Structure 1
Amino acid sequence: MRNVLLATAALTLIAAPAMAQTVPTNPVTGSVGYTHLDTDGGDLGAITGRVGYDFTRNFGIEGEASIGVKDDDVTIAGVSGKVEHDWDAAAYGVAKLPINENLELFGRVGYGTTRVSADVAGVSASADGESVNYGVGANYFIDGRNGIRADWTRRDFRDDGAGEADTYGLSFVRRF
């Protein structure tokens, strides 16, 4: 029995390089698009840019940054005000499932920071929130290099009572 286990382990080590995947022809991707942030405090919008690197066809990393472009009017205790998304940044590990040459599904998990501001009755305040982020999406490449991306990401903020936010994004994506 011991010899069978040792032989199996040796065959696994010999076959491991064959299981390794090569780096894709175009491992770097970039995207720019619009992200809608759905929060308890308001519905906000941002322009989002991303850069990613694929180590294999199925695994990579991705960084993103956003700048707020759509504010929301709010009413607190009968007083009108405004909530603004200033910026956010995040880094992710990404797992991809290629369906065919043009379509790939992905899941991502990462960590980010978000800054929002509020102005109610002339009183301004801003806050930063750290979050664990996770989501899913799809990339569809029209010509193999240029395509569109749709994604959903949940941001679970780490501060007590800070809540969560759902983001929905639509972007132009390009492989380099």
Structure 2
Amino acid sequence: MKKLISVAVLSAAVASPAFAEGLYLGAAYNSLAITDSRINGVELDVDTLGVVGGYELSPNLAIEGRLLTGVDEENSGGFRAEIDSYLGANLLGKLPLNNQLSLYGTLGYGFLDANISGPGFNVNDDDGGVSYGGGVMYTAGNVNIRAGYEMLYDRDNVEAEGLNLTATFAF
């Protein structure tokens, strides 16, 4: 059923008469909370930076890829977390509120390579999982700035979620 809905959404976007087709590139920053249910609610904050690239299929739908890397590590409560990398692909849906402001939502799949360690505990999670998020987007000419919440990874007791800030330039 999910595949059927995805195909229908993509078909509708491609069939739309008003195309704003175009490539865009940019940068992303995430302030993530890394948690593992096996360490009693300890939340470890890790920041990531990376590149974002996408293609706008219509004024309301784009496909997007991102590559992020951790820029710091967190030590708290005897535990340490770091992100080596994140590689993901998303559909990005946009709902314009006016010419410059839109709401957006993302749905995709990503691969996280993260390490969490502490007393008697060591996990290197390098698997894939569903990602999703949403927020607001401001557009000024060829520049888009997005701010919102993202769940980048939720699998095998490990979650990586938090705030996202992305800036892109359309060609």
In which range does the TM-score fall when normalised by the shorter chain?
0.7 to 0.9
CA distance in 1, matches of 2:127, 2:56: 28
What does the per-residue CA deviation read over 1:103-148, in whole Å, with 9 as the maximum and x for residues that have no partner? 2221111111101124547x97522132211111222123x11242
Is 1:72 matched up with 2:67?
no
Which residue number corresponds to residue 29 of structure 1? Answer: 24
How big is each residue's C-alpha offset from its partner over 1:65-123, in whole Å with a ceiling of 9 and x where there is no partner? 10100210033xxxx453211110111112111222222221111111101124547x9
CA root-mean-square deviation? 2.5
Which residue of structure 1 lines up, in the alignment, with residue 54 of structure 2?
52
Query: Do the aligned residues in 2 keep the contact of 1:129 with 1:157 (CA within 8 Å)?
Result: no
Q: Which residue of 2 aligns with 1:172?
A: 167
What amino acid does structure 2 have at the position aligned with 1:39?
A: I
- Superimposed CA distance per residue, residues 33-89 of structure 1 (whole angstroms, 9 cap, x where no aligned partner): 3211112251100002211111111112111110100210033xxxx4532111101
The offset of 1:174, in angstroms, is 1.2
1:103 partnered with 2:74 = no
Structure 1: distance between partners of 2:90 and 2:58:
15
Is 1:157 the equivalent of 2:154? yes
- On the 8 A contact 2:112/2:153 being kept in 1, the answer is no
Counterparts of residues 119-158 of structure 1 (less than 5 Å)? 120=118, 126-142=124-140, 144-158=141-155
TM-score normalised by length of structure 1? 0.74
Larger radius of gyration: 1
Equivalent-residue separation in structure 2 for 1:94 and 1:81 (angstroms): 34
Percentage of matched positions with identical amino acids: 27
Contact 1:84 1:117 in 2 (8 A): yes
* Structure 2 residue matching 1:55: 3-state secondary structure: strand
- Contact 2:83–2:115 under 8 Å retained in 1: yes
More strand by share: 2
The unaligned stretches of length 5 or more in structure 2 are 1-11, 36-42
Paired residue secondary structure (1:140): strand
After superposition, the Cα gap between the structure-2 partners of 1:28 and 1:34, relative to the gap in structure 1 and judged at 3 Å, is same
Q: Paired residues, what number?
A: 151
